[in-house]
Chain A
Amino acid sequence: MHRSEKVWLLLSFGMIIGFMLITGYQAFALGMGPPSHEERIDPQKVDETAPFDRPGITKIGENEYEVVMTLQIFSFTPNQIEVPAGSTVHFTLTSKDVVHGFQVADTNINAMVMPGYVQKISQKFEKPGEYLVLCNEYCGAGHQMMATTITVK
């Protein structure tokens, strides 16, 4: 093996091990891992199952809110959410029909919402403004209309 080949391989391995350590540390020590909630639900009985029988926003602490939301073609319930700037919002989500995506532009909120599963994701909203919430998984003819907003005041 050429010397330059050895150097290249060493650098490659070093770089990749670095990536693994950093992502692993962030995911598990800092709790930044991607949304992976593991609760199940009957997708046809969402409306009768707590907490989705009462979708909406609840204040659960100082600057902390819980949003219980259902996704269905081609809308989010509730829509038009309002929170004060600096609040942390915990979303609890499920789908009543097909697979949808839950993405909030300009934030790291990005989660798949699948029928049969409850998904959870949290985000602190620092900057005031209107945040666009949209479905980013193809769900049918009206997919591009599936959107709402979160207003941070």
Chain B
Amino acid sequence: MGIATEKLNVDRRDGRLVMAHFYVAFIALAVGGLAGLLQVLVRSGKFELPLGIGYYQVLTVHGVVLGLVLTTFFIMGFQIAAVSRTSGTLTNKQRVIGWIGFWLMTAGTIMAAVMILLNEATVLYTFYAPLQAHAIYYLGLTFVVVGSWFDGAAIILAYSKWRKAHPGTPSPLLTFMAVVNTLMWIVATIGVATTVLFQLLPWSLGLVDRVDVLLSRTLFWYFGHPLVYFWLLPAYMCWYAIIPKIIGGKIFSDSLARLSFILFLLFSIPVGFHHQLTEPGIDPAWKFLQVVLTFLVIIPSLMTAFSLFATFESFGRSRGARGLFGWVRELPWGDARFSVPFIGMLSFIPAGAGGIINASHQMNQVVHNTIWVTGHFHLTLATAVILTFFGISYWLVPHLTGRKLTKAMNKLAIIQGVLWAIGMTFMSGAMHAAGLLGAPRRSSFSEYGGAPQAAEWIPYQIAQAVGGSILFLAIILMLYIFINLAFFAPKGEQDFPVGEVADEAEKAPMVFENWKLWLGITVVLILFAYTIPLIDMIENAPIGSKGYKLW
């Protein structure tokens, strides 16, 4: 790598910006985790919420705080750290832009949180119209998104500065990946920003009377699917470019990693209809077309799986491992920075398979809006992604605060990861099973008038409560570790690991950084997948819906 501008440490000033993001993220983990615990307890049928708090209010807290706040803050913080580490310290201007982003996002979070607590926004994080929340809720979410654009601008500006200073050299892999994810995020959030600014805000302020329901759902899901890739790609950054260094191996192929990220940029967005497969008003041919595009996003994930296990195997064999699986023993299982994200990687195998089922057009009818789907994204987001984020925190937090991950904390971190795996096996497993039997997602406890079918679901709901309680313990452990690493761990130097490429001679082709080309294809694919159905939706729109506040 021998690049002159590369610094081995993230600058203290950048570190403070990143840590600010992490503080909010981990407060969100505490709040959202508690909400999750309350939900599984209520749904077991053995517990009722005190003080007139509603189940759906708690559910809204859980979704907003974990799905939007925790993720966006952590990801933006991590990406800023990765860029600062691999492309050099941010300029003062870039850092100020980052701080503006942070404060906008924080202000937006507080606005949305207050409205949820006042029970003015019990519309869940998907805020499907015509349920109508308070305007300040929508405004708060807009602030979160706009703030994330400022963070994204800091990342892109830092990258362009590096790019100009190093003509003809491929950018550092982690910077490249952060830029791809940021660009995808910006293109994707245009959808949700459009529905909020032009539909939901004016409607909730009473400036217009009615809202086009299908259009707002379509704009939401144009954003909603790439949202899951926005969560996943930072985990892939860690798996591709950081884990190899942690285990003492090499990155299998730099070009393969870049190619898979470009494929995610291209195919993550024009696929939102796979969340709307059972909806009226959308032409079946266009639904199927987006299903085909959805299938194409599977390819880069399969490439990632190959690349990771190739890294592990070649590392093990370089240490003299023999036989088909001898290399497994060589991996550093006692190092939480590796083993906790590794649990995440394993969970992505059933998670990915479940995702293919969900996306499979008519097969979606079997699972749509059942709790199977909740089980699915608790394997993807709430295991694969979040355990990787935890794994990153174990070294990144002490790196930024000038402390060290001690042996004791490392041990606790592994216990945390194992506890998570156990809790999630119960919770997500029971959710998948109950979903196949028809149990709905996003529903409070109900015996459905004593229906025998609903009675079959209750044992699974109790298993969910058991799993959820174990997960809550793991969250408390994680918060304890975070606080230790941020404030109490002994002073020292904790390395920010950055992987090196196996074959130094292999130089990534510069075409990967031809952004006009990739953004051009991205836009063409989006226009191809969405133009005709959108025109059809708008031209043939029924009269819109008035707002309802039904909670």
Q: Which residues of A contact B (CB under 8 A)?
A: 2, 4-5, 8-9, 12-13, 16, 19-20, 23-24, 26-28, 32-44, 73, 97-99, 101, 103, 105-106, 108-119, 130-132, 134-145, 147, 149
Contact = CB atoms under 8 A, between A and B. Distances in A.
B284 interface: yes
Interface residues of B, number: 70
A108 B277 CA distance: 13
Interface in B288-324: 288, 291-292, 295-296, 298-299, 302-303, 306, 310
Given A36-B287, A97-B548, A144 B443 contact: yes
Contact of A16 (B122, B295, B545): B295
Interface in B313-365: 356, 360-365
B550 A139 contact: yes
Given A33-B284, A41-B542, A147-B448, A141 B443 contact: no
B178 interface: no
A43 B124 CA distance: 23
Contact of B279 (A5, A114, A139): A114
B209 to A, nearest CB: 11
A141 B57 CA distance: 9
Contacts of B550: 73, 97-98, 139-142
B121 to A, nearest CB: 13
A65 to B, nearest CB: 20
8 closest Cβ contacts across the A-B interface? A140-B550, A105-B438, A116-B542, A144-B446, A40-B542, A136-B369, A117-B280, A136-B440
Given A19-B356, A36-B280, A97-B550, 18 more contacts: A4-B310, A8-B306, A12-B302, A20-B292, A37-B280, A38-B540, A40-B541, A42-B542, A99-B217, A111-B365, A112-B279, A115-B213, A130-B453, A136-B370, A136-B443, A138-B443, A139-B131, A144-B443
B76 to A, nearest CB: 29
A114 B281 contact: yes
A35 B361 CA distance: 10
A33 B365 CA distance: 9
A98 B132 CA distance: 10
Interface of B: 54-56, 59, 122, 124, 128, 130-131, 213-214, 217, 256, 276-284, 287-288, 291-292, 295-296, 298-299, 302-303, 306, 310, 356, 360-366, 368-370, 437-438, 440-446, 448-449, 451-454, 540-546, 548, 550-551
A103 B54 contact: no
A37 B279 CA distance: 8
9 contacts: A5-B306, A26-B362, A34-B277, A34-B278, A34-B362, A114-B279, A116-B543, A136-B370, A144-B445
